[in-house]
Amino acid sequence: MASNADIPNMSMLRQIVLDLAPFPGRAGTTWRTAAICTLAVTIAMMFQIPESAISCYLIIFLMKADGSENTIIPIAAAFAITLLVAMIVPILQWSVESPLLRLLVMTGVSIVFLFIGAASKLGEAGGIVALIIAFVLSLVNQVPIGGVISTGLRYAWEMAIMPMIVMAAFNLCFGRSTVSLLREGMRQRLVAARDVVLANSQDAQERVRELLHQGNDEANKRIMFVRLLHLTSRDALRQIEVDVLASYQLLLAARALPAEISDATRAVLGAEISAAIDALDAGNAMPQPQAMREGSSATERGIHHALATMAGNVEADFAAAPKDTFFAPDALTNPRYQGFALKTTLAAMLCYVFYAGINWQGIHTAMITCYVASLGTAGETIHKLCLRIGGCLIGAALGISSIMFLMPHMDSIGHLMLLLFAVTCIAAWVSSGDERIAYAGVQIGLAFYLTILQGFAPTIDTDTARDRIIGILVGNLAIYFVSTMIWPVTVESSIRTSLSKALKGLAVLASTRPDKRGAMVAQVADIETQLDAVSRNFQLMSFEPKALQPAKTIGNNLQEIAEQVASLDKEIYFSQEDLSYLSLPLTRLAEKVTASDACGTDVPEASPESHTMSLERMEQLIAGKEA
């Protein structure tokens, strides 16, 4: 079995081409992002608000397809930034007299917020808070304290608040409807289910797998925005909530449809799904599916139940999604979170001491890079470094080329805005894609903005651009060495964690009564998202240094465990038997798979013929012993 860690370079290039391909809504997100950045820079030029490059970076970083999210998140960010600036004032007053004390404060605040971000749902926002506080404190040496507390902090506030206001106002007027996005997502699921029912081709199966791996988190977030902004009636909102789960159930049933199902049956099921698609396109109520024939399989009944639920003719009885706490259950016991905070802070402070020591403030982007590029595992971090370096070089090339060949012919702000709009379209197209490449788009935009936005008019100065690019490369180098040489966290460990969570989810599913198992759609979606995390981590494995990558045998065994979990997920969900006896063995497997010495020996192939055989096969793979 070939490991995903061995993906050849040509496969990566093909994946990049696929990730750059258009999809519904991508062009809309692109032009909206470019328009908002252009408006923000125009306002910054008019009112002489400094660092408009950072304003544009915030926009392209936060911008999503959903107009409601692009309205609510910037408003929330504006309040958070205001509180943060207010919190920085006493810190500055307390530490201004002592460079050593200021460095200790920067270090302490950085560790605390990075740890909170890593160990909670705060995520990258924790790193952004740490970055803002550390960066503002680092400016004390450059400006008298009175200027820092008054003018400096006011400029920092304006620089961050202005783009948030522009972004929220623009999306309030021209943002894409959240309800239409939910409808589009539902249509994609219906079309994918119809295609796999009628054709059952490899491409159709792959499309269904992709949609299942996406889970329902994005849809649930949009439902929350619809509820907060009262974008539809209460009854319509309730139906949307049901439709999200029912359409996911439809995908599950379509994927699991037995190969021996007759063509006539497939044609009938496909026609019923097509009728639902036509009704959705016309804005009509979903049609009631035909009555089930005798002897129908569990998957056929699943398709029928999903369509009937969307038609409103079956009482929705879906179980609630598994609840997650704000902090991870192992937040205080897992050294991975503390290690991440310490390593990132070390890299950032080393960069700060370096450029402050040699008095080269122009490469201050080194410290910024450490905060925005550092991630949990070495593979993730190096992957993001590659995106950051690649995006930086492309953005810098576009910026320097503009300075050399276009700026000398520009005599107005309007010309600069046209250039900004055009290049932002390129950056936003990339950043609106899959997370495999999205950050490269953010970096293309940032490097370009840092190059050409150096004041309040077109410029032909390349020194600032050079310094900032050097700073980005220095920061990348620092975070690379820290992430790979000090307490390195391997991608393998993340794979094991996701597999463990998926196995625990299977244990819950198996322990559910057969007549209630069909309602566990949210539980299955959670398992599928864990399997998606496993798949993505296998792709990241090739970015790790060879010394950190697992042996090929271990990678192959872990990959086969993931395949067994995917197979059991489908079988258990549609089984009409009492499978509670599987719960304890699955829980034990979840505990065993996280052991660092598991899966260490090559295991002969075995084709599971039942749930028990699948469990035995996973036992063999985890133990790493001969079958």
294 Cβ contact partners less than 8 Å away, ≥ 6 residues apart: none
> Residue 612: in which H helix or E strand, if any?
helix 611-623
**In this model, does residue 602 exceed pLDDT 60?**
no
Distances (CA, A) of 325 to 213, 335, 392, 468, 496: 22, 19, 37, 40, 21
**In this model, does residue 597 exceed pLDDT 80?**
no
- What pLDDT sits at residue 142? 59
Q: Mean per-residue pLDDT for 214-225?
A: 93
Instruction: Convert the pLDDT of each residue in 16-29 to its tens digit.
Output: 888 899 998 999 99
CA-to-CA distance for 297 and 222, rounded, in angstroms?
34
**In this model, does residue 7 exceed pLDDT 50?**
no
CA-to-CA distance for 160 and 224, rounded, in angstroms?
26
579 Cβ contact partners less than 8 Å away, ≥ 6 residues apart: 510, 511, 514, 572, 611
**Phi and psi at residue 120, to the nearest 5°:** -145, 180
Instruction: Convert the pLDDT of each residue in 173-213 to its tens digit.
Output: 999 999 999 999 999 999 999 999 998 788 899 999 999 99
- What pLDDT sits at residue 374? 74
Distances (CA, A) of 536 to 120, 138, 336, 478, 559: 21, 37, 20, 25, 12
Query: 337 is written with which tokens?
Result: 């979170």
- Residues 604 and 627 sit within 8 Å (Cβ to Cβ): yes
- What pLDDT sits at residue 240? 92
- Residues 355 and 366 sit within 8 Å (Cβ to Cβ): yes
Closest among 495, 507, 573, 582 to 531, alpha carbons compared: 495
**In this model, does residue 10 exceed pLDDT 80?**
no
* Cβ neighbours of 119 (radius 10 Å): 22
| Residues facing residue 120 across a β-bridge | 327
- Residues 522 and 321 sit within 8 Å (Cβ to Cβ): yes
* Cβ neighbours of 614 (radius 10 Å): 23
Q: What does pLDDT average to over the chain?
A: 85
Instruction: Convert the pLDDT of each residue in 155-170 to its tens digit.
Output: 778 888 899 999 999 9
**pLDDT interval class at 5 (50, 70, 90):** very low
- Residues 189 and 211 sit within 8 Å (Cβ to Cβ): yes
**In this model, does residue 321 exceed pLDDT 90?**
no
CA-to-CA distance for 92 and 145, rounded, in angstroms?
8
CA-to-CA distance for 314 and 308, rounded, in angstroms?
6
Task: State the residue for tokens 């449809």.
Answer: 257
- What pLDDT sits at residue 315? 74
**In this model, does residue 233 exceed pLDDT 80?**
yes
**In this model, does residue 455 exceed pLDDT 70?**
no
Which 3 state secondary structure label does DSSP give 575?
A: coil
**Sign of the alpha-carbon dihedral angle for 389, 395, 397, 403:** negative
DSSP-derived secondary structure letter, 327: B
- What pLDDT sits at residue 148? 52
514 Cβ contact partners less than 8 Å away, ≥ 6 residues apart: 575, 576, 577, 578, 579
**In this model, does residue 216 exceed pLDDT 60?**
yes
Instruction: Convert the pLDDT of each residue in 86-97 to its tens digit.
Output: 877 787 777 777
Length of the chain in residues, anyone? 627
CA-to-CA distance for 529 and 224, rounded, in angstroms?
20
Contacts by residues 603-610 (CB-CB < 8 Å, ≥ 24 positions apart)? 603/557, 603/627, 605/1, 608/564, 608/567
**In this model, does residue 42 exceed pLDDT 60?**
yes
Query: 70 is written with which tokens?
Result: 């692009």
**pLDDT interval class at 551 (50, 70, 90):** confident
Q: Mean per-residue pLDDT for 385-395?
A: 87
Instruction: Please state the three-class secondary structure of 529-562 as a single string.
Output: HHHHHHHHHHHHHHHCCCCCCCCHHHHHHHHHHH
Distances (CA, A) of 403 to 137, 419, 427, 432, 462: 32, 11, 18, 27, 7
Distances (CA, A) of 323 to 116, 319, 329: 19, 12, 12
Distances (CA, A) of 265 to 258, 279, 311, 443, 487: 11, 21, 21, 51, 56
DSSP-derived secondary structure letter, 291: P
Which 3 state secondary structure label does DSSP give 140?
A: coil
Instruction: Convert the pLDDT of each residue in 585-594 to its tens digit.
Output: 899 988 888 8
Share of the chain above pLDDT 70, in %: 90
Task: State the residue for tokens 């403030």.
Answer: 361
**Phi and psi at residue 327, to the nearest 5°:** -95, 145
| Residues facing residue 327 across a β-bridge | 120
**pLDDT interval class at 607 (50, 70, 90):** very low
**In this model, does residue 463 exceed pLDDT 80?**
no
524 Cβ contact partners less than 8 Å away, ≥ 6 residues apart: 248, 252, 505, 509, 569, 573
